[in-house]
């Protein structure tokens, strides 16, 4: 039996990248990460603080102790990037939103290396070819869509991972601004609360990403994470939370006009988060039909994967 593909993760110490690394190790894929000699010195604003206790140094040491290969290199050093890519079969990028356009450098290195079987660009959100988001989120989605077009034009084999709503962004506070746990008195709900959204833990994103990386049927397709137990309206989730705490919350439904006004008047990161919530809760950007010619529904393709449900996730806050 042939060995499993060698996987290189770019952005391995981020909130998503670290979970992709651990999932790759668990699946038995030879796992490589690209690390700079020195960490970045610029403090970039974050949407949410990742619930990950390790420092970058501790995490890299844990990777190494688990058999992960650390390759010194830099995205801005073309030759070091080519040299790293030549050692692997699959490249998975998990860069943050500020580095989306820089992925053209990765694509150029993949083309020069000539050996990559699959490239996962940094998407890990909704399907950027199926959205009706507003600014400031729209610009980021359009940047991701442009990267898709470059990949396709260059003939680079790919998989797009569409996982929709991270629990850390959407469920930790039930999509409320400026709180870190689910509310126990009142809740603001965009729209009527009856539009379905798709939720997934960051760890499960890692698991499904590696499942897709090892799946030949996911080649040149988008893999969608709309897990049955987690494909819910916000009203359904709030009801689930109320049963857990034995209390009915005061519900304040915010019409779209007011939401759009709040987005325009807020500063980062609140405007970005509000626009993400608006995309899912009002515009319904997680609601669409699967096209078997270009899409894979993860729950159908990998039914054996046991994922964390919304119900289970909320138990930690009771």
Contact 313, 167 (CB under 8 A): yes
Task: Identify each DSSP E strand in the chain by its residue range.
Answer: 7-10, 31-35, 69-72, 90-93, 118-120, 159-162, 165-166, 186-190, 196-200, 221-224, 231-233, 250-254, 295-297
The alpha-helical segments, DSSP class H, found in 86-199 are 103-113, 137-154, 167-170
CA 297 to CA 291: how far, in whole Å?
Answer: 9
Active site residue 144: yes
Of 4, 105, 111, 144, which is the active-site residue? 144
In three-state secondary structure terms, 130 is coil
In three-state secondary structure terms, 21 is helix
Read off φ and ψ for residue 179, nearest 5 degrees.
-130, 160
| Residue 17, CB-side half-sphere exposure with 13 Å CA sphere | 23
Question: Between β-strands 186-190 and 159-162, what pairing exists: parallel, antiparallel or unpaired?
Answer: unpaired
Long-range contacts of 240-243 (CB under 8 A, 24+ apart): 240/310, 240/311, 240/314, 241/174, 241/182, 241/314
Handedness of CA 145, 153, 104, 57 (dihedral sign): positive
Contact 135, 275 (CB under 8 A): yes
Retrieve residue 13's tokens. 């110490």
Active-site residues: which are they? 144
């Amino acid at each position: 039996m042939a060995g499993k593909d060698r996987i290189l993760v770019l952005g391995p110490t981020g909130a998503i990248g670290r979970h992709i690394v651990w999932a790759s190790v668990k699946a038995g894929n030879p796992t490589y990460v690209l690390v700079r000699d020195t960490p970045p010195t610029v403090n970039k604003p974050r949407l949410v603080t990742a619930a990950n206790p390790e420092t970058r140094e501790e995490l890299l040491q844990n990777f190494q102790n688990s058999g992960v290969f650390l390759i010194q290199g830099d995205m801005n050093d073309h030759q070091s990037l080519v040299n790293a890519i030549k050692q692997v079969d699959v490249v998975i990028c998990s860069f943050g939103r500020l580095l989306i356009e820089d992925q053209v450098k990765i694509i150029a290195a993949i083309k020069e290396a000539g050996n990559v079987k699959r490239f996962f660009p940094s998407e890990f959100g909704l399907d950027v070819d199926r959205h009706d988001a507003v600014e400031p989120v729209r610009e980021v989605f359009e940047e991701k869509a442009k990267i898709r077009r470059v990949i396709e034009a260059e003939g680079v084999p790919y998989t797009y991972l569409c996982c929709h709503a991270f629990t850390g962004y959407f469920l930790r506070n039930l999509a409320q601004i400026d709180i870190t746990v689910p509310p126990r008195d009142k809740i603001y709900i965009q729209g009527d609360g009856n539009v379905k959204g798709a939720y997934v833990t960051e760890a499960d994103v890692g698991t499904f990403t590696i499942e897709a990386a090892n799946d030949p049927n996911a080649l040149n397709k988008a893999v969608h994470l709309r897990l049955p137990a987690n494909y819910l309206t916000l009203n359904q989730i709030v009801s689930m939370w109320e049963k857990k705490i034995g209390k009915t919350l005061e519900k304040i439904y915010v019409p779209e006009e007011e939401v759009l006004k709040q987005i325009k008047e807020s500063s980062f990161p609140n405007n970005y988060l509000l626009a993400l919530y608006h995309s899912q809760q009002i515009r319904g950007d997680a609601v669409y039909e699967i096209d078997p010619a270009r899409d894979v529904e993860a729950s159908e393709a990998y039914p054996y994967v046991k994922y964390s449900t919304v119900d289970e996730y909320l138990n930690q806050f009771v």
